[in-house]
Structure 1
Amino acid sequence: MLNTIIHRAESPSAAPPLLVAHGLFGSARNWGVICRRLAETRLVIAVDMRNHGGSPWTATHRYPEMAADLAEVIEAQGGRADVMGHSMGGKAAMHLALTRPDLVRRLVVADIAPVAYAHDQSRNVEAMRGLDLSALGTRGDADRRLAEVLPDAGLRAFFLQSLDLKSDPPHWRLNLDVLAAEMPQILGWPDTSGRFDGPALFLSGELSSYVGPQHRETILRLFPGARFAELKGAGHWLHAEKPRAFEETVRVFLDAAL
């Protein structure tokens, strides 16, 4: 079973639980503030995806398996949920909706499409694998070392959230070897049959190139009930860059009458 962080509803309602699946190199903790705010009237469950955070490390990292992981969490919570995923987590959520539509009431896909991508994250894996973890005293020490190969301060801050400095010796809470080996699977999209006829929101960042007009035909073929929205001024990390606008858009979609 995946590691989960449970956010209890402040004022419980009849709304189903919301399951939140993070993207590559992320964790359930990254979504803490957003999950707490969305938990006003419903249970919100954030997961660590396999090979991330506190979840089991496995020999493979593929979307049918990740979708099955999410299904297991939903079934343990009663059997049906709204599901939201970003990037890699969005692909896992889409695969779940296509193959187990009985488990998904509404679907939110944040800045990803059901297609293969040509960009590669292997350089970032190698940067983390190459970081000398010996004699690290503070996160600042780790940041300075990582800056030698990764100049983007925002990316470094994001990656370092998965570095456990309290352990002896420090270690990454990411199965970097498997993520590197499975990168073609992560960037790809399996030949998935099925169709999800329920409500689906494809929410993209205005400044991101991950979801474009060329993807709409594929999305609508698999998700005929899809709606599209764009967050102004946001890129791929739209939930981190425009959190309040992201929350409000998601809340309106989830709470709308069927």
Structure 2
Amino acid sequence: MLLNVIERNPDTLPASDTPLPTIVLIHGLFGQARNLGFAQRHLAATHRTLAIDLRNHGKSPHGPMTYQIMAEDVRETIRHFTTEPVILLGHSMGGKTAMTLALTHPEMVHSLIVGDIAPGAGGFANMDLSSGLEHVNFPARLDRKEADALLRPLIPNDSVRQLMMQNLTLGETPGWSIGLHDIFQSLPAVMGWPDFPPDTHYEGPALFIKGELSPYIQPHNFPVMRQLFPHYTLETIEKAGHWIHADAPARFIELVDAFIKAH
């Protein structure tokens, strides 16, 4: 499946015998490409960048989701832009998708950056979303304030509600713009992690960035991280939660820049 992409590039590419790798940014569950817009705009000063809407998200087509399926979507989409290895930067579900692509097609991945998620089952516990969202009775017209009031009983968490509101079409004939049914049907796979052969690993450089206040990367994850990504490093952003790029954008970019320059 070809996915929707936001492409941003430098005004002039630096003169070099070896072109810099393209950077591919992959959002998390219920997000979309523009959630990583701050990082993309910064990185596009020096690199070609592609921010991707995963299936059922943003403007991409809909369908069943597993990490193998989503990684294949990303692989197919990348190949429409470049045949060279890319830098993958994925947050949360996008991080699991990026890890899956690195493990299944390591030749495509120059280096890997994973935002606040570990290779394993779990994650997204704080979303706490009701399947009743599929059956919201939308009025004939809806503005942002009315949408907030409509969703509040189903999504009491303010941050999660604001995230979900970006997936609404407002104005005339409002409704969900995303593949909500397919997402809910696929949540067990999204909460899980693929089974890989025992010798599977990615030999390239990998950076995991954890939010200090987030529960999604813990010491019990470290052995599997080392097994699958033997050259990984881990950085923690103080006072940041799961949405590290929003909670501490300057520090997030600093870590990403340093990793990219080092490799």
Query: Shorter-chain TM-score: what band?
Result: over 0.9
Contact between 1:127 and 1:150, CA under 8 Å: does it hold in 2? Answer: no
Matched to 1:226, the amino acid is: Y
**What amino acid is the match of 1:229?**
E
User: How far, CA to CA, are the matches of 2:258 and 2:9 in structure 1?
Assistant: 19
Are the aligned partners of 2:26 and 2:54 in contact in 1 as well (CA < 8 Å)? yes
SS at match of 1:54: coil
Aligned to 1:24: 29
1:107/1:200 contact within 8 Å kept: yes
More displaced 10-residue stretch of structure 1: 146-155 or 233-242: 146-155
For structure 2, the residue ranges without an aligned partner over 5 or more in a row are none
1:2–1:50 CA contact under 8 A, matched in 2 = yes
1:33 aligns to 2:38 (yes or no): yes
- State the Cα deviation string for residues 47-72 of structure 1 (Å, max 9, x = none): 000111111111x1001111111111
User: Contact 1:106–1:200 (CA<8 Å) still a contact in 2?
Assistant: yes
Q: Deviations over 1:222-257 (max 9, x none)?
A: 00010000111101111111111111111110111x
Q: Report Cα offsets for 1:22-50 as digits up to 9, x if no partner.
A: 11100002111221111110011000001
Superposition pairs of residues 206-221 of structure 1, within 5 angstroms: 206-221=212-227
Q: Does the CA-based 8 Å contact 2:118-2:216 persist in structure 1?
A: yes
TM-score w.r.t. length of structure 2 = 0.92
CA contact (8 A) 1:11 1:42 kept: no
| Counterpart for residue 53 of structure 2 | 48
Superposition deviation, residue 120 in structure 1: 5.0
Which structure 1 segments of 5+ residues have no match? none
In the alignment, what sits opposite 1:254?
260
Distance in 2 between residues matched to 1:251 and 1:136, nearest whole Å:
44
CA-based RMSD: 1.6
Q: Secondary structure at the match of 1:209?
A: coil
TM alignment of 1:1-258, pairs within 5 A: 1-13=2-14, 14-58=19-63, 60-79=64-83, 80-117=85-122, 123-166=128-171, 168-193=172-197, 194-256=200-262, 258=263
Give me the identity figure in percent.
38
Q: Segments of 4+ in structure 1 off by > 4 A?
A: 118-123
Cα distance in 1 for residues equivalent to 2:96 and 2:217: 12
* 3-state SS, counterpart of residue 105 of structure 1: strand
Task: Provide TM-score, normalisation by structure 1.
Answer: 0.94
Per-residue CA deviation, residues 90-135 of structure 1 (Å, 9 max, x unaligned), is 1110010001000000100101111011765784152532433213
